[in-house]
Structure 1
Amino acid sequence: MSSVIDVRTIEPRLRHAQIFGQFDALETGDSITIVNDHDPVPLRFQLESRTPGQVQWAYDQAGPDLWRVVITKTQGAAEDPHANGGCCSGGACGG
């Protein structure tokens, strides 16, 4: 699944919350593309901070007047069967 969010059409105070909601709803491997009139670096830092290890960030277009960023949800620690002892507490599975 991939959708496009043109953040230029969203009220500034609502932008990040809307993007976070759509990112959270993604399945692993799915992506959203955001379109903006500036480099959304602060958004990247916020996404990576709130969902560590689950964000792949790729510029499809990088300025000077338009940025298109493809944000893909990757397998994060929460989905890793080895996280927190998961499937093999004590290392029994060899992972």
Structure 2
Amino acid sequence: MTQTASRIDVRTIAPRERHPLIFSTFNGLAAGQTLELVNDHDPRPLYYQFNAQMPGQFSWEYLEHGPDVFRVAITRTQAGPAAESGSCCGGGCGG
């Protein structure tokens, strides 16, 4: 059973601040905890970024799939090196 630990609505956050906030929040989750992300567009590119940096460490489930609001549950399935390093996204997210 997963536990929602945090909810981030990025619709009101400056684009350059979004990915660093999402990754730092996710890195603070324990295994089994979930971050709920709310956005005004499909965050599919973020999924690919998670998959490249944290393969096997998360699950991704759409709770609402547009067209105006997208909600995604990102659950930490296991701790990993990304959580220990404190790196949000290697500088590739503009942060």
**TM-score, normalised to structure 2's length?**
0.77
Provide structure 1 residue ranges, at least 5 long, that are not aligned to the other structure: 79-95
- In structure 2, give the amino acid aligned to 1:32: L
Cross-structure match for 2:18: 15
d(CA) in 1 for partners of 2:67, 2:61: 16
Q: Which has the higher helix share?
A: 1
Task: Tell which has more relative contact order, 1 or 2 (C-alpha 8 A, sep 6+).
Answer: 2
Counting only pairs closer than 5 Å after superposition, residues 19-38 of structure 1 correspond to structure 2 as 19-38=22-41
**Match of residue 67 from structure 1:** 70
2:48 is aligned with 1:50:
no
Distance 1:63 1:47, change over 3 A: same
CA shift for structure 1 position 75:
2.2
Alpha-carbon distance between aligned partners in 1 of 2:65 and 2:52, rounded to the nearest angstrom:
22
TM-score, length basis structure 1: 0.77
SS in 2 for 1:21: helix
Q: Which runs of 5+ in 2 are unaligned?
A: 82-95
Return the alpha-carbon distance in structure 1 between the equivalents of residues 6 and 13 of structure 2: 15
Q: Which has more radius of gyration?
A: 1
| Percentage of matched positions with identical amino acids | 50
Cα pair 2:30 2:79 within 8 Å, conserved: no
Which of structure 1's runs of 4+ aligned residues deviate more than 4 A?
Answer: none
